[in-house]
Structure 1
Amino acid sequence: MPLWIPIVIAAAFLQNLRSLLQKRLTGRLSTGGATFSRFVFAFPLALAYALLVSSLTGWVPGVPSHTFMTFLIAGAVAQIGATYLLLASFAHGPFAIGTAYSKTEALQAAVFAAVVLGELLSFWGLIAVLIGIAGVALMAFKRREDGLRALNLADKAVLFGVGAGAAFAMASVSYRGASLSLGDSSAFVRAGWTLASATLVQTIIMGTWLRWREPGQVTKTLGLWRESGLVALAGVAGSIGWFTALTLQTAALVKALAQVELIFSTLTSWLYFKEPVSTREVAGIALIGLSIILIVLVA
């Protein structure tokens, strides 16, 4: 089994754990503050990881190239934009619609990767991506009216959801481009320095934005370092996995396999929060499972 597959599965589990921990911060910070907390506390951890893998391999980073910086800034901005678009989708419609359309990220990543990086997805790879998206839709649209509303492409919730998926896809492809531009060093080293650089850029962007638009949020966020620190630790561990996988494999397949996170979140809801699981969700899990099997075979 290729190394990137267990890395993605571990990253998806850690991302689900981060989401679980982040619920503790709900209501204590604004949307911008919560987003900022993900980056400001993650940066020192990501930098420590990058320095560690560099010391173990003996690789010393040089002056960043224009290619690296272009991809990096594009990815950092796209990721921030994706977060806001997803929240905007939730504000204009059911959670299910925003979630489902944002998960078209894998399909959109295949398009962006072909255009930007010249990476083409195989026929069976594309089939795996489409099956995974169908599974997500089954799990998301628990109510018939949500499914019907999702067909209205003029709906703001749909438009913002698609936009979030596009921005997430652009971020994934850009981060892969940045990591690949660092040359032939270890994938762990390239991923580590790309992640550390991305979180630094995002911290600067979000910190500047909050100082201007939401005075007091930066101080409030930093004051919650104990609660946010644990979230950041789980988030960085997951991000290390995502960035490493994106260095090893195309963004479309990585993000298609990442749908396994929905299985983890459903199990968390069932086992931890004692929420019932519907037949539709079980069918969605089955389709995502089939998608994962195809991805493993394709890889």
Structure 2
Amino acid sequence: MMAYLWILFTIVASGGQTLRNALQRDLIAEVGTVGATHVRFLYGLPFGCLFLLIVSTASGTAVPVPTGGFWLWTLGGALAQILATGLMLQAMKSKSFLVTIAYTKTEPVQVAIFGILFLSEVPSPMLAGAIVVATAGVMIMSWPKATADGTARDWTPAILGTVSGGLFGLAAVCFKGGIQSLGLPNFLVAASATLAAGLGLQTLILTGYLIATDRAALIKLFRAWRPSVMAGFLGAFASQCWFAAFALEPVAHVRTLGLVEILFSLAVSHRLMSQITSPREGFGIALLVVGVLVVLNA
């Protein structure tokens, strides 16, 4: 059962993250890009601490005392995730929800490289092939289209989304490094402690930034607490599941399976935003599904 638990965590995380992204996207007009970025951290922190308390109490495992190495890993992940989220939301302002998420999902190739460099996680040939196939599907479905009047394609969302994906990948590797540095036998406590610490650092960093540069946005963020609480909960819950999966499986494996988020995003785009999928995007999705199926059998 434990051998397959990471699959459940990853699928649940992908679904929760899709809904969180949709809620954050809707908050951009009200609180700005930085404010919408901060939602997942400020409103997610109480839930992250609650998850840690529940897991620690239920397992009888004391909350660990982190070392300096843990804080370096977690700070690196926190900063990378802040930048990645901001770039993703900025790209969403000029591109469809589905296609923007597709841009960020070039992440598996980048996370595989980071995993090799920082964690010595070398993917098998079959997994490497699955990553290439799935990422090719993502690139096909997200390639910028020519405009009707023949003007140049807009590459800005593609660049923002791709850099965002790389930063998300770097964040995942750093957070796994933090989880491993704790050396705990209980993977859920290690994952929960890393999540709570990461959210705490992110909340301090972005709250301080907004106090110094845009206090009005911070005030708006507190006033928009009703939709923000749900976005914060979904963000913390999705991250809890991601971190648990990282604790059990190589990061590249987890993030490649996490491409199922594209399918969830497709459903959200159609049902909530009335966005239509083109035949080319459909072919890209088919390649993505093939890659994911290979991952499950790698």
- TM-score above 0.5, yes or no: yes
2:141 is the alignment partner of 1:139: yes
Match of 1:108 among 89, 107, 110: 110
* CA–CA distance in structure 1, aligned partners of residues 136 and 189 of structure 2: 35
Report the counterpart of residue 267 of structure 2 in structure 1: 267
Q: Is the Cα contact below 8 Å between 1:97 and 1:161 reproduced in 2?
A: no
Cα distance, 1:235 vs. partner? 1.6
User: What code does the residue aligned with 1:210 have?
Assistant: L
Report the counterpart of residue 226 of structure 2 in structure 1: 226
Report the counterpart of residue 44 of structure 2 in structure 1: 42
Match of 1:33 among 9, 32, 35: 35
Report the counterpart of residue 125 of structure 2 in structure 1: 123
Q: Which runs of 5+ in 1 are unaligned?
A: none
Q: Which runs of 5+ in 2 are unaligned?
A: none
* CA–CA distance in structure 2, aligned partners of residues 24 and 164 of structure 1: 19
Cα distance, 1:85 vs. partner? 3.5
User: Residues 94-131 of structure 1: CA distance to partner in whole angstroms, max 9, x if unpaired?
Assistant: 56886554322111111111111111111111111111
Cα distance, 1:169 vs. partner? 1.2
User: Residues 117-153 of structure 1: CA distance to partner in whole angstroms, max 9, x if unpaired?
Assistant: 111111111111111111112222372569x978x9x
- RMSD over aligned Cα atoms: 2.5
* CA–CA distance in structure 1, aligned partners of residues 23 and 91 of structure 2: 23
Report the counterpart of residue 287 of structure 1 in structure 2: 287
Report the counterpart of residue 242 of structure 1 in structure 2: 242
User: Residues 65-117 of structure 1: CA distance to partner in whole angstroms, max 9, x if unpaired?
Assistant: 111111000000111122233455567x7568865543221111111111111
Cα distance, 1:212 vs. partner? 0.7
Superposed, which structure 2 residues align to 1:44-193 within 5 Å?
44-87=46-89, 99-141=101-143, 143-144=145-146, 159-193=159-193
* CA–CA distance in structure 2, aligned partners of residues 263 and 145 of structure 1: 26
* CA–CA distance in structure 1, aligned partners of residues 118 and 142 of structure 2: 30
Taking structure 1 as the reference length, what is the TM-score of the superposition? 0.89
Aligned residues: 293
User: What code does the residue aligned with 1:213 have?
Assistant: T
User: What code does the residue aligned with 1:77 have?
Assistant: L
* CA–CA distance in structure 2, aligned partners of residues 84 and 130 of structure 1: 26
Identity of aligned residues (%): 32
User: Residues 7-61 of structure 1: CA distance to partner in whole angstroms, max 9, x if unpaired?
Assistant: 1111111111222333442411011111112111100111011011000111112
Which moves more between the two structures, 56-65 or 277-286? Answer: 277-286
Residue 297 to residue 197, structure 1, CA distance change in 2 (3 Å): same
Which moves more between the two structures, 158-167 or 44-53? Answer: 158-167
* CA–CA distance in structure 2, aligned partners of residues 30 and 130 of structure 1: 35
2:254 is the alignment partner of 1:278: no
Residue 211 to residue 273, structure 1, CA distance change in 2 (3 Å): closer
User: Residues 152-206 of structure 1: CA distance to partner in whole angstroms, max 9, x if unpaired?
Assistant: 9xx6655544432221111000001101111133221111111111000000000
Q: Is the Cα contact below 8 Å between 1:97 and 1:157 reproduced in 2?
A: no
Cα distance, 1:273 vs. partner? 4.1
Taking structure 2 as the reference length, what is the TM-score of the superposition? 0.89
User: What code does the residue aligned with 1:9 have?
Assistant: I
